């Protein structure tokens, strides 16, 4: 029996913070998992080292499902981003090990390829409308056939999306969260117009996506969706906070603009109503925040019954290990929709060397055993953890809002 001999938790910051799990088996096989929870990284690292690692040593490395239940049911406390991210990292590392042991890529263990490659969307952004439209053009020139477009709002300081492409949200003074602004009326006035400007310049022959980032009420979201219907968005993402899944009934009644939800949610129960009542079109739960390959596969299977397709979160705060794991699911499931793809910074690749490859708006998977990602632990040591936060948002009168 190949047992879990060691489990190390590596925290490093090559361009941004990442928490990585390394499991080594008694036969010397190494598997990698991503345990990064942006802005709350050390909570997961300590959950792992203090509470999970001691339970793993000596367990049969091949029993992935049993280990998942042991960590989930065995904790007594349910769900939540810290727990589900920790479980995800262990789960993904064990799938990586299973692949390496079988000398097969993980996607072969999941049933084999259902498609040749994985459709991804890129992130076009800009400080203002002109910059953002140019950035959409840049992605189309690179061969992307799906692009998400975001820009700031005139009169609102640093609203989400106002950052130039590739920039991070690091606090200006290096310590506390950046304070940004929000104004729903300005958004409802301006966002449909700037999305229309993209269609005007580049036409309809590509998929246009937009992230509303959880800031509207269901009623406002319904109005927004209706006002962009003729722009034929691929999706509007997170139109309203999804803790209240029932709120999406109202949006659905108002608009046929497709809806994508799930990046901040962690379990199948968090998306159950959304899926079973067909209130969304794409489920965006991620492999690293929703319990790993084992649990995300369950979510996608449930979604398939209700014509909901996958649209996995893939921002740069998910490490290349996560992306490789997401891609293994993307290429095998019947109800694949699209995969988010934000290129990692070159410095991130000094530590994480993935085998997948982007070409013409699609990603081709590596056929290396396991997930095909190498992690350079020596290089990781050069990039110590730095405390960072996601921004917060406030209305003009100071009321704290959803960022």
Q: Is 213 a catalytic residue?
A: yes
Cβ closest to Mg ion, residue 211 vs residue 317: 211
Whose CA is closest to 370, among 187, 108, 169, 112? 108
Residues interacting with ligand GCO, by CB under 6 A? 38, 211, 213, 263, 315, 317, 340, 390
Binding of residue 211 to Mg ion (CB under 5 A): yes
Smallest separation (angstroms) from Mg ion to the CB of 214: 8
Residue from 123, 163, 210, 213 carrying the catalytic annotation = 213
The C-alpha atoms of residue 195 and residue 219 are separated, in whole angstroms, by 20
Minimal CB distance residue for Mg ion = 211
Smallest separation (angstroms) from ligand GCO to the CB of 347: 18
Smallest separation (angstroms) from ligand GCO to the CB of 121: 10
Within 13 Å and on the Cβ side, how many CA atoms surround 229? 10
From Mg ion, ligand GCO, none, interface partner of 38 (C-beta below 5 to 8 A by class): ligand GCO
From ligand GCO, Mg ion, none, interface partner of 390 (C-beta below 5 to 8 A by class): ligand GCO
Smallest separation (angstroms) from Mg ion to the CB of 333: 21
Cβ closest to ligand GCO, residue 336 vs residue 341: 341
Residue from 47, 121, 160, 187 carrying the catalytic annotation = 160
From ligand GCO, Mg ion, none, interface partner of 330 (C-beta below 5 to 8 A by class): none
Cβ closest to ligand GCO, residue 218 vs residue 314: 314
Please list the active-site residues.
160, 213
């Amino acid at each position: 029996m190949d047992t879990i001999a060691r489990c190390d938790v590596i925290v490093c910051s090559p361009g941004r913070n990442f928490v990585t799990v390394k499991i080594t088996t008694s036969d010397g096989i190494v598997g990698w998992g991503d345990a990064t929870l942006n802005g709350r990284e050390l909570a997961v690292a300590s959950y792992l080292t203090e509470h999970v690692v001691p339970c793993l040593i000596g367990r049969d490395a091949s029993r992935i499902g049993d280990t998942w239940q042991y960590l989930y049911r065995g904790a007594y406390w349910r769900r939540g981003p810290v727990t589900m991210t920790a479980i995800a990292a262990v789960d993904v590392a064990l799938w990586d090990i299973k692949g390496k042991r079988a000398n097969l890529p993980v996607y072969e263990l999941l049933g084999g390829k259902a498609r040749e490659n994985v459709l991804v969307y890129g992130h076009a952004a800009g400080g203002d409308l002109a910059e953002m439209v140019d950035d959409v053009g840049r992605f189309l020139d690179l061969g992307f056939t799906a692009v998400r477009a975001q820009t700031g709002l005139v009169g609102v300081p640093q609203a989400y999306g106002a950052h130039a492409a590739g920039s991070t949200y690091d606090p200006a003074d290096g310590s506390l969260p950046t304070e940004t602004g929000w104004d729903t009326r300005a958004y409802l006035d301006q966002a449909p117009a700037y999305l229309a400007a993209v269609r005007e310049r580049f036409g309809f022959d590509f998929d246009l996506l937009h992230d509303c980032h959880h800031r509207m009420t269901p009623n406002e979201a319904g109005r927004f969706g209706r006002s962009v219907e003729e722009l034929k968005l691929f999706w509007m993402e997170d139109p309203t906070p999804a803790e209240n899944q029932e709120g999406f009934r109202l949006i659905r009644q108002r608009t046929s603009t497709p809806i994508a939800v799930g990046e901040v949610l962690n379990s199948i129960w968090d998306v159950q109503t959304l899926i079973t009542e067909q209130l969304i079109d794409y489920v965006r739960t991620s492999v690293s925040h929703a319990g790993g390959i084992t649990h995300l596969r369950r979510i996608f299977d449930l979604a398939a019954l209700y014509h909901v397709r996958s649209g996995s979160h893939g921002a740069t705060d998910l490490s290349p290990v996560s992306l490789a794991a997401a891609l293994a699911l993307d290429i095998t499931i019947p109800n694949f929709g699209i995969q988010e793809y934000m290129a990692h910074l070159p410095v991130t690749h000094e530590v994480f060397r993935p085998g997948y490859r982007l070409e013409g708006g699609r990603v081709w998977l590596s056929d290396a055993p396991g997930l095909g990602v190498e992690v350079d632990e020596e290089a990781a040591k050069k990039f110590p953890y730095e405390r960072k936060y996601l921004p917060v948002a406030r209305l003009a009168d100071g009321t704290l809002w959803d960022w």
